Chain A
Amino acid sequence: MTETPLLELVDLRVRYPGRHRTVEAVRGLDLTVGREKLGIVGESGSGKSSVGRAILRLLPPTAVVTAGSMRFQGSDVLAASEAEMRSIRGRRITMVTQDPKFALNPVMSIGAQIAEAYLAHRHVSPEEARQRTLEMLQTVRFRDPERVFASYPHELSGGMGQRAMIAMMVIAGPDLLIADEPTSALDAAIQMQILAILDDLVGQRGMGLVFISHDIDLVAAFCDRIAVMYGGRIVETCAAGALHEARHPYTRGLLAAIPRLERAVEQLPVLARDESWLAP
């Protein structure tokens, strides 16, 4: 980690007020991200996706976001105007989501939409944007960038679509990439390939990566650091290599509940949730 963190969140809270009750998705979260691969792990409803979207201020208008402070490279994201947010979003912080089917424009060629993303943030000629797009497609390991440039989203497989989305999100040279379950819809071998691409991008460009996932094993193998979320809070943070030394009963329970090839058991240990895990 570097001395000046990319992102600093202090006491982040996300609430969804309803008619009968208010859902508290994130309940006082502190997080610092440097130029590293940070994994946020948790089960459904733990609030992990709300954190990613809160950073980019992409939550629906019904969500109430508060924080002690929320700083990106020193500037206050919480107080930024919409116009200021637009210059951050897509340029300095970008996001890759789970399913490229919903993130890509179905009636626009892959090349045109990646070039559009570049032109939105850089004052360059269309020809230069096209050249940069072709280079970017090569970076995400398309063997024939010209052909992919001209193709439409429905002509690509899930793994190819995901690589196109990554190209679009990285082309403007962001400092921080938020990836929310980027490989969960993909087969294991394709998943590995996507992770290798992300790994290279982070390493070569010195980006920070926030990798949000339900898959604790995957995060442990891929990231540098892991934050485990439960009930809208981080219950434990540890180095990815030291996950087996995790202390929190939730983390330990989660690890024990996973069936493993190298360990045959009659019954899988079941996670016994404890009220005290929700306490601050």
Chain B
Amino acid sequence: MSDPLALTVIGVENLRVGFGGGAQSFPAVQGVSFSIVEGEIFGLVGESGSGKSTILRVISGLNRDWSGRLTIRGQEIGKRRAKRFYKTVQMVFQDPYGSLHPRKTVDAILYEGLAVQSMDDRQRRIERVLYDVGLQDGFRFRYPHQLSGGQRQRVAIARALILEPRILLLDEPTSALDVSVQAEILNLLRELRVRRRLTCILVSHNLAVVAHMCERIAVMNRGRIVEELDSASLRAGVAQDPYTQQLMRAARGYDRAIADSFVDFD
């Protein structure tokens, strides 16, 4: 659990994001606040369209159309991010088929970040990060199409970690993978997080994955956090909010009576 004296690494206050301008604007995130301390892994769960990925895109600088206050390691950050920012914050995306350059080898993909950040000792860093993500021999000069989905996601994680970030943003990192591969990637992420003292946000629609990975979890619906709870409460099923309760019932699997009890939450 969070230690009150620990340093707040990510602070989000009253974040608002709208898509499209004028009267037709769609409010994707409607006043979200949370803070994450060093070494913590914070989960954001919700259904599609709840705004969870949009929050990650704001923090990572991919979405510049927002208002509110954002701090990273105590410093307020604006909409444009300097190159230095990406030495601290890195992101892993959902689809390992779409997030790697198809015409670049693993080596070139990893080298690029080092060159952009002017980091030295590049050969050794590439070797080491590939070892860390479990892609030791023979993977370095392959192209993405020669790799399986799980291997690609390992490359995407290596690409993020090679810059030695303090913060890792994970957007559904295993939902495109088979469950046997998901287990490998989740184990890897848990191990790397401890070893590298990373602070993480994990976005997922899967409650069991979030409960497995995170200490604290925020449940989102329609752009708002409806409830924040710890993983023990999530496991015990002691959610207060009716939307969270419904989400938890749906996660338990198909049940005819439960399916008929679902309502729309606006």
Contact = CB atoms under 8 A, between A and B. Distances in A.
Interface of A: 43-44, 158, 187-189, 191-193, 195-196, 199, 214, 216-218, 220-222, 253-254, 257-262, 264-265, 267-271
Contacts of B235: 261-262, 264
A65 B142 CA distance: 33
Contacts, number: 92
A270 B250 contact: no
Contacts of B248: 261
B180 A271 contact: yes
A258 B237 CA distance: 19
A118 to B, nearest CB: 27
B263 to A, nearest CB: 9
Interface in B215-266: 231, 234-235, 237, 246-248, 250-256, 258-260, 262
A225 to B, nearest CB: 15
A-B interface, 5 closest residue pairs, ranked by CB to CB distance from nearest: A188-B250, A271-B180, A268-B183, A192-B259, A257-B183
B63 interface: no
Given A192-B262, A193-B259, A259-B212, A267 B187 contact: yes
B254 A218 contact: yes
B211 A259 contact: yes
A260 B248 CA distance: 12
B262 A257 contact: no
B250 A268 contact: no
B205 interface: yes
B253 A187 contact: no
Contacts of A262: 235
Interface residues of B, number: 37
Given A158-B48, A188-B47, A254-B180, 6 more contacts: A44-B149, A188-B250, A261-B211, A261-B252, A264-B211, A271-B180
B208 A43 contact: no
A261 B208 contact: yes
B12 interface: no
A43 B178 contact: yes
B176 to A, nearest CB: 10
Contacts of B178: 43-44, 214
A261 B252 CA distance: 9
Interface of B: 47-48, 149, 178-180, 182-184, 186-187, 190, 205-209, 211-212, 231, 234-235, 237, 246-248, 250-256, 258-260, 262
Nearest to B182: A257
21 contacts: A188-B247, A189-B47, A189-B247, A192-B255, A192-B259, A195-B259, A196-B256, A214-B179, A257-B179, A257-B182, A259-B206, A259-B209, A261-B235, A262-B235, A264-B211, A264-B212, A267-B190, A268-B187, A270-B184, A271-B180, A271-B183
Contacts of B250: 187-189, 191-192
A221 B246 contact: no
Given A259-B212, A262-B235, A267-B187, A218 B253 contact: yes
B235 to A, nearest CB: 5
Q: Which of A260, A261, A265 has the most CB of B within 10 A?
A: A261
Contacts of B209: 259
A214 B181 CA distance: 13
B262 A258 contact: no
A195 B149 CA distance: 28
A267 B248 CA distance: 23
Contacts of A260: 208
B154 to A, nearest CB: 14
Contact of A265 (B180, B212, B246): B212
A86 B52 CA distance: 45
A76 to B, nearest CB: 35
A258 B179 contact: yes
A12 B111 CA distance: 47
B254 A192 contact: yes
A270 B259 contact: no
A188 B46 CA distance: 10
Contacts of A216: 179
A144 B182 CA distance: 41
B183 A269 contact: yes
Nearest to B180: A271
Given A43-B178, A261-B235, A268 B259 contact: no
Q: Which of B183, B248, B254 has the most CB of A within 10 A?
A: B254
B181 to A, nearest CB: 8
A249 B212 CA distance: 24
B211 A270 contact: no
A217 B212 contact: no
Q: Which of B149, B212, B235 has the most CB of A within 10 A?
A: B212
A221 B235 CA distance: 20
